[in-house]
Chain A
Amino acid sequence: MADVRLAEVSKWFGGVRAVDALSLEVAQGEFLSLLGPSGCGKTTVLRLIAGFLDPTAGEIFIRGRSMARVPPFRRSIGMVFQNYSLFPHLNVYDNVAFGLRIRKIGHRTLHEAVTEALKLVRLEGIEAVERRFPHELSGGQQQRVALARALVIRPEVLLLDEPFGALDKKLREQMQLELKGLQREIGITTIFVTHDQEEALILSDRVAVMRAGRIEHLGPPAEIYERPRTRFAADFIGRSNSFQGRVVRDAGPGALLHTDEGLAIKVPEELPEGPAEVLLRPEQIAISATAPTSGADTVVAGTVADVMYLGTHVKYDVRIGTKLVEVFEQNVGGGPKGRYAPGDRVVLSWRSADLLCPRE
């Protein structure tokens, strides 16, 4: 059963459709990410669910209950804001206890709940942490307090608005892992807003790629990455090479795409004849000096135009005719690094099954 359901929800700001007839179901205990560029409406969706905004049209349900005309303070939500929004005049303990005090929870129960929440977010070990004020905490610690404050009231839904945006990379990765573990542990339905594709892929059970107030593709991370439904989703997540041209069926098996640059590449058979675009992830392309790697059914020759060393992999820009193709080569141990230099003749090969053919 869906824990959170949006039915044809729209939100207009003046003439701008921030959210456009969006429908979405989030299952009990699911971790769902709203992923998209800034201005795609993902934060608006979150604020609609929280009740800080009223939908222009459509209806929102939490646990089957319509949220129409239910103010935010009567919804059972836990929200973590981008800038944490900790109360600066309250210390850690009072920040976490805020929601419980509003609910007039008795002193003893309150103390136990606050202590447990601080433990849950791994803040209990720090010296006198309860007495510290938000400005005395590091970004990561503030993040944990914000999370504890949201979780201590045992909300039905946890809403997170780019919670890790302000943290440095290392800390962000650590917090991501902890959040994921925590979410699994307590099994809370979670809706997570981010513009960071990697973060969305790591954390989510399902990802909703959003553009212009609509969901472009909703699915598990692997599906989003490997079989993106739309050109936009394919482009937004990961990197890809685009081949545009016309699909032609010859006498033999399969279909060929005659690209605008004059290449003819093999494409999956289900592609209809006519103008088309296919995409290819840079890491799906093998680069070699002469013989093509086995398993590949497409082989093209080119010249290395640029080499970029990126640690975990090497990025080559390879020129095929007038087309520049981006290739990632994994930095596997042993071999010499950066084998090819600009100007080297190389052979690129890939499997046509790995081509992405988004429908729109």
Chain B
Amino acid sequence: MQKEDRINSHIGGFNADEKGYYGEFGGAFIPEMLYPNVEELRQNYIKLMYEDSFQKEFNQLLKDYVGRPSPLYFAKRLSEKHGCKIYLKREDLNHTGAHKVNNTIGQILMAQKLGKTRIIAETGAGQHGVATATVCALMGMECIVYMGEIDIARQAPNVARMKMLGAEVRPAKSGSRTLKDATNEAIRDWINNPVDTHYIIGSAIGPHPYPDMVTRFQSVISEEIKWQLKEHEGRENPDYVVACIGGGSNAAGTYYHFLDEPEVGIIAVEAAGKGINSGESAATSALGKVGIIHGCKTMLMQTLDGQITEPYSISAGLDYPGVGPMHSHLFKSGRAEFYSATDDEAMAAGLELSQLEGIIPAIETGHAFAIFEHKNFKKDDVVVIGLSGRGDKDLNTYIDYFKLA
């Protein structure tokens, strides 16, 4: 595709328009203190991202450093079990163990082009924090990662990784002390350090242009699925693409090149926690309504009074009260089917994948595999599941849950 086409063919429709709106969702609801930073990024991100030199460096790093393309693997035993043709997009095999690094590689190059010297990030499960700390080590940049105090406790291996990579991990001690609060703290840091700092948001959330920028960096996932599926099946488009959704960066990347292909069914699996109506859930599409969180208008879990509520999921990476604006639009417009999986369903699906295919997924990813509890596929259906991350970081949770020790 020509450069201009790559830029323009993905403006509007199910993607962001020039002001960052996906239908009624998106935009940039930011305090004036953030305006210069966000505006600088907005004016430059498309231009910089599609420069030949940027693309060359980005693709080279994805190939040599991240290990892309990630395989599209036909999961024979899982397919037999569930009566359809299941392919796994192996983002778990990326360097650092999840899809998150696609975005951090892109954003660190962006930060360099913008002349920034200091990087901040928020993290939930720690995967984005590790991916950010990794690229900061790679590029020799200062790195500060905000992480909720509770998440620090439940994701100890990733905290250690970040420290070993030279990052400073700062605990977010306010509110629910999880991902939402880590994001607040990172935004406050950016307000306090407006000139030299770039904020690498890890999900398809935040003020425009973040959702679109993150989605474009992650879109390499669906770009690869297309040609890989062609090799396997003789066609580019599967019948379904399935992904788990917290903020939704893995899902956005997995769906991106299929959004305008109506024959491809798009399936999102949210975290229901202990059950949608248990009061301990993170199923935003079921429990949320339109509001403003972290600078964008989107579906979010809140009280009648507009106070953002504290979500719950066994997986720290899905424990977010909102969902990216693209996904709100996909939900509202009916383009995507939304389901939610409970902690128990996700854990069982993770165990099943481990024992049928020899792949231990992240608990976040386990939610996507719980789709088979909720939807029946036809025998000939080709179903691509985003295997967004590996489960090493979750071993303690698995050990406790399944009493493996």
Q: Do A and B bind each other?
A: no
Residues of B within 8 A of A (CB): none
